[in-house]
Each structure stands twice: as structure tokens, then as C-alpha cells.
């Protein structure tokens, strides 16, 4: 049996779909299932059962012998939320409970970390364990992810295999419910459909021109390939970057979205909201040497190819993965 937490969310629901296409019919999904819009991500997907996240640890106590691998994807991911207690409960302590259960029952564990842990990138974007304790995330979300990474590296007792993946800027189908936290591709698509224009955040950093802020945008299908590789190969427990290894500009992103819709670009700029302006990452780029050295040799979608497939295959059809 495969267990996926956060299964109603963006990446979690895509992972459930991927597991089904790979022939894993015995899947248990975990979430709170309270958001009807998120639950649409699970429509038409087959699985053994769904477990409320509050009951999962107790369920695992009684059913651990049936579980082959746990993907812990569930988390509070709102980077504009500043209530630390929410992140302590849902991201840090809950993750510790899952880790401890996987250790006790000897279940392999793959979990989601985040590139938000890197903060302003003062120490680079290298997934070296020695750097993790030095990182300075810019918001409580990033702090919660980094605190768990640090805690994991202190543990003497571990699951038989474990891997934490620092997701960079993931985009793709099944993120319709994410509102403000959705990818810029989804926001751009909706703006174009509404008024044939896209507004991007203006740069408030003299080192970057408007629209030339750089991020490592990674298509969700590439993320799924890495997670499946991790489960199958189980090569080298540790914390890994998961991006493309190539930073691209928001201007490139918007241009590719227009092109996917066969329209000429019309791009303007607005001020970055005050509540996130001083927490804004102007550059992220995953160093992918560690994952490549572990044996993962599949190629990643280019930004243009990923956006074209996402826009034409999913957004334009209002379809799900």
C-alpha cells in the first residue's frame, strides 16, 4: 500500500494520479477533505480509502504492516500566513509524528520540503546538509520547513529509507483551488482570458529589471517523476533539491503563456504587495548535482514546453490530472 498525505492538494492529488497510472491500485489518501474545491482534484481517482489527517497516526498504529511507502506531501503552504502556531502544528509537529511512526514501524518515507527554506539565498541553493542549519527563511512557512529539515538531520533513529525534497516553484494541473498561492502561470492565464493582458510584480530591487526576477519553475510532472524514482530506487537517504536547475524570468513565463494561447504579449507591471515585499525572493535556482548523482537521469520540461502543455492540455479544458 502507498499512502499519500495532502492528497486533496495540488501536488498530492497529482501524485495519487501518477501512482494510479503506474499500476499502484492500493492507495490510501490522507487530508482533512474539508475544501470542496480541493476535493475536485480527487474526482474520478480510485483509491482504497481516505483517512482524516487527525486520525492518521492512530490509523497507522493499527495498519502499518500494510504500508510500503509514505509520501508526506501535506502542509500549510501559505507564505503570507504569519501565525507561527499554525505552522508548528501542521508542518513541524505533525511531520515529526509521521517521521517517528515511520521510524518505529520501519516504513520508507518521502516528504516535501521547500525552496522557501533558502531565504534570500545567502548560502546558495545547494542541498548540502551542512548548510541547512545556517539557512534564514523569510517567512514562517519557510521556517517551519527548515526547522523540520534540521530536526530530521539530528535524528539517530530513522526510517529504513527517507528523502526530503526541496520543491522549487512547482506549477501544473490541480492547483485551481490555491487562489493567491497558485502559480504565476495560472494567474497569468486567468488575466489573459479576462482582459488579454498580464500584470507582473514590479522589481523593487535595483539589481533586477521589472519582470526579470528569476525563479526555478518546475512542472509538476517532473516532480512526480522524481518522487517515483525516490520510492523505487531508494538511493541515499537525505535532503535533495527538486527544481530544473535553470532559473527563468517572470517575463519569460508570461510570454510563454501568451504564446500557448496564440496571442501577442501585453505585459505591464504593478507594485509588489507591501505584506510580501521585504520577503520576496528575486532569484532561486536549484543545484541539481546531488539528485543527478543519485542516478536520476530523466530530462525536465523546458519552461515553454511545460507551460504549453499546462495551458492547452489542462487550463483551456478546465481539466485535472
For 185, the grid coordinates are 502561470
Helix (H) / strand (E) element for 155: namely none
Residue 198: phi, psi to the nearest 5?
Answer: -130, 135
Reference 77, options 60, 91, 94; nearest CA is 91
Max Cα–Cα distance, the chain, nearest Å: 58
Q: In this structure, are residues 57 and 99 in contact, taking their beta carbons and an 8 Å threshold?
A: no
Of 125, 141, 171, 310, the active-site residue reads 141
Of 136, 178, 197, 235, the active-site residue reads 178
Neighbours of 50 (CB within 10 A): 15
**178 tagged catalytic:** yes
Q: How far apart are CA 114 and CA 8, in angstroms?
A: 19
Q: How far apart are CA 285 and CA 288, in angstroms?
A: 9
Neighbours of 85 (CB within 10 A): 8
Q: In this structure, are residues 4 and 29 in contact, taking their beta carbons and an 8 Å threshold?
A: yes
Q: How far apart are CA 67 and CA 64, in angstroms?
A: 5
**141 tagged catalytic:** yes
Neighbouring C-alpha atoms within 13 Å toward the C-beta of 160: 10
Task: Give me the residues paired with residue 249 across strands.
Answer: 214
Just list the catalytic residues: 141, 178
Amino acid at each position: 500500500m502507498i499512502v499519500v498525505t495532502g492528497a486533496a492538494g495540488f501536488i498530492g492529488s497529482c501524485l495519487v494520479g501518477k501512482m494510479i497510472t503506474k499500476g499502484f491500485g492500493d492507495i490510501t489518501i490522507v487530508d482533512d477533505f474539508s475544501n470542496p474545491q480541493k476535493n475536485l482534484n480527487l474526482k474520478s481517482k480510485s483509491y482504497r480509502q481516505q483517512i482524516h489527517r487527525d486520525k492518521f497516526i492512530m490509523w497507522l498504529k493499527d495498519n502499518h504492516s500494510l504500508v510500503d511507502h509514505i509520501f508526506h506531501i501535506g502542509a500549510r503552504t501559505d507564505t503570507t500566513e504569519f501565525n507561527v502556531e499554525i505552522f508548528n502544528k501542521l508542518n513541524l509537529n505533525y511531520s515529526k509524528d509521521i517521521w517517528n511512526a515511520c521510524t518505529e514501524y520501519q516504513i520508507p518515507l518521502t516528504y516535501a520540503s521547500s525552496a522557501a527554506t533558502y531565504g534570500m539565498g545567502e548560502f546558495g541553493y545547494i542541498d548540502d546538509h551542512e548548510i541547512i542549519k545556517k539557512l534564514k527563511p523569510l517567512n514562517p512557512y519557510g521556517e517551519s520547513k527548515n526547522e523540520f529539515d534540521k530536526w530530521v538531520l539530528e535524528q539517530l533513529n530513522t526510517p529504513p529509507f527517507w528523502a526530503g525534497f526541496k520543491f522549487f516553484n512547482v506549477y501544473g494541473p490541480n492547483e485551481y483551488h490555491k487562489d493567491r498561492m497558485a502559480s504565476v502561470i495560472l494567474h497569468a492565464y486567468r488575466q489573459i482570458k479576462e482582459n488579454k493582458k498580464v500584470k507582473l510584480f514590479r522589481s523593487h530591487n535595483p539589481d533586477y529589471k521589472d519582470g526579470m526576477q528569476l525563479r526555478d519553475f518546475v512542472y509538476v510532472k517532473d516532480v512526480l517523476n522524481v518522487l517515483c524514482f525516490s520510492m523505487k530506487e531508494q538511493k541515499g537517504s537525505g535532503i535533495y533539491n527538486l527544481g530544473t536547475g535553470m532559473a527563468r524570468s517572470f517575463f519569460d513565463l508570461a510570454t510563454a503563456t501568451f504564446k500557448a494561447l496564440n496571442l501577442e504579449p501585453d505585459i505591464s507591471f504593478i507594485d509588489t504587495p507591501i505584506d510580501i515585499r521585504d520577503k520576496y525572493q528575486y532569484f532561486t535556482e536549484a543545484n541539481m548535482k546531488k539528485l543527478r548523482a543519485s542516478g536520476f537521469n530523466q530530462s525536465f520540461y523546458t519552461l515553454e514546453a511545460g507551460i504549453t502543455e499546462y495551458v492547452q492540455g489542462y487550463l483551456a479544458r478546465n481539466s485535472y490530472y
